[in-house]
Amino acid sequence: MTVGFIGLGNMGFPMARRLADAGNDLVVYDTRSEILDAATTFGATAASSPRDVADRADTVLASLPSLQASTEVATGVLGGTRIRRFVDLSTVGSTVAQHNRQQLAAHDIAALDAPVSGGVGGAANGTLAIMVSGPREAFDTVAPLLEALGRPIFVSAEPGAAQTMKLLNNLMAAATLAATAEVMVTGVKAGLDPQVILDVLNAGSGATHASRDKFPRAVLPRTFDFGFATGLMVKDIRLYLQEARAMELPTGVADAVARLWETTVEREGPESDFTSVVKPVEDAAGVIIGGPGPSATDRAL
Ligand code: NAD
């Protein structure tokens, strides 16, 4: 089966590779020509535009970094001679998903919003959680394809419902990472060893994905290379707030979380890794968590 894939970034590239490894003929497109060349190493054919992909594949998947790119690509595939299904794996919020769905439906293209969770590691290992909304029939058709990427979960037939689900998930991820950053800084400032703090959190009720995975892998070694850009996390928090406010719901916790992330994107830049959220907290406290050397308490500034 020929499958189209548009957007070969941190997430898209490993996902496309898995689809190729599962035996699909892949036609790929990205605005960066160097990444298109790299995709030919796993057997993908480079296309010249989203429309070119849509002329060659029945099912086109996309993993894009912004609302604008997602709408551009959804518009770009309209009129493709082969395309029957468009599966957007990007996080774009329910309004954009509904808008894209309308455009695609007018051209008899079934649209599924299918945002993912599980990070670059999940994309490489095929262990993503894939939240899907849209026509059930289209979901049933693409489910075997999505199984090469992780676990597809049908959220609802309602357009945009999976996007809302994804925003709930990412607000949780943003909040726990921000909270972990604050407690780690507090602990180190109080003289505790950061590795011991993580060990205790992870053995107790304070354990989160941030303490189990993000801090040990990207903060303590000071690599800040977990693979998700701060700008993308801020996009998702803003989308969450937009949707919650549109429903006139309380956002006290989300507002506090958003403040730290807005400071981080301003100071560290949108391309920084999202684990950089600890840096403004460290600066305010005058400590650095982890890094080479004997113990963090020795390095308290
Ligand atoms: P990324 O910036 O690494 O990759 C995006 C890719 O899209 C790039 O290769 C870029 O060149 C390409 N692109 C941009 N505009 C394009 C266009 N108009 N046409 C074709 N290609 C275009 O982003 P990412 O981290 O891979 O994230 C992709 C999506 O997945 C985002 O919506 C993000 O929120 C979501 N997501 C990311 C992660 C993660 O851990 N990185 C986890 C879950 C969900």
Q: For residue 69, report the distance from its CA to the centre of ligand 1, in Å.
A: 9
Report domain extents, the chain: 2-156, 164-300
CA-proximal residue: ligand 1, atom 30 (nearest): 90
Closest ligand 1 atom number to CA of residue 9: 4
Placement of tokens 């990207």 in the chain: 218
pLDDT digits (tens, 9 = 90+) for 110-138: 999 999 999 999 999 999 999 999 999 99
Mean of per-residue pLDDT scores for the chain: 95
Q: For residue 60, report the distance from its CA to the centre of ligand 1, in Å.
A: 15
**Does the pLDDT of residue 298 top 70, yes or no?**
no
pLDDT digits (tens, 9 = 90+) for 177-211: 999 999 999 999 999 999 999 999 999 999 999 99
Residues annotated catalytic, as ranges: 166
Closest ligand 1 atom number to CA of residue 115: 44
**Does the pLDDT of residue 292 top 90, yes or no?**
no
Closest ligand 1 atom number to CA of residue 7: 7
pLDDT digits (tens, 9 = 90+) for 61-114: 999 999 999 999 999 999 999 999 999 999 999 999 999 999 999 999 999 999
Q: What is the DSSP letter of 66?
A: S
How does DSSP assign 111-169, residue by residue? EEE--EESHHHHHHHT-EEEEEES-HHHHHHHHHHHTTTEEEEEEESSTTHHHHHHHHH
CA distance 172 to 273: 18
Mean pLDDT within 22-32: 97
CA-proximal residue: ligand 1, atom 12 (nearest): 7
**Cα Rg of the chain, angstroms:** 20
Q: How many residues does the chain have?
A: 301
Query: What is the structure's pLDDT at 293?
Result: 53
CA-proximal residue: ligand 1, atom 41 (nearest): 228
Q: For residue 10, report the distance from its CA to the centre of ligand 1, in Å.
A: 7
CA distance 35 to 147: 24
Query: What is the structure's pLDDT at 1?
Result: 79
3-class state of residue 26 by DSSP: strand
CA distance 51 to 236: 28
Has domain 2-156 been given CATH number 3.40.50.970? no
For the CA atoms of 6, 18, 149, 179, the dihedral, rounded to the nearest 10 degrees, stands at -80
Cα-flanking dihedrals φ and ψ of residue 44, to 5°?
-75, 150
Q: For residue 157, report the distance from its CA to the centre of ligand 1, in Å.
A: 25
CA distance 8 to 28: 8
Query: What is the structure's pLDDT at 300?
Result: 37
Query: What is the structure's pLDDT at 135?
Result: 97
Query: What is the structure's pLDDT at 121?
Result: 94
pTM above 0.75, yes or no: yes
Residues with CB under 6 A from ligand 1: 6-12, 29-32, 35, 63-65, 69, 72-73, 90-91, 116-117, 119-120, 227-228, 232
Specify the CATH class of 164-300 in words. mainly alpha
CA distance 213 to 171: 17
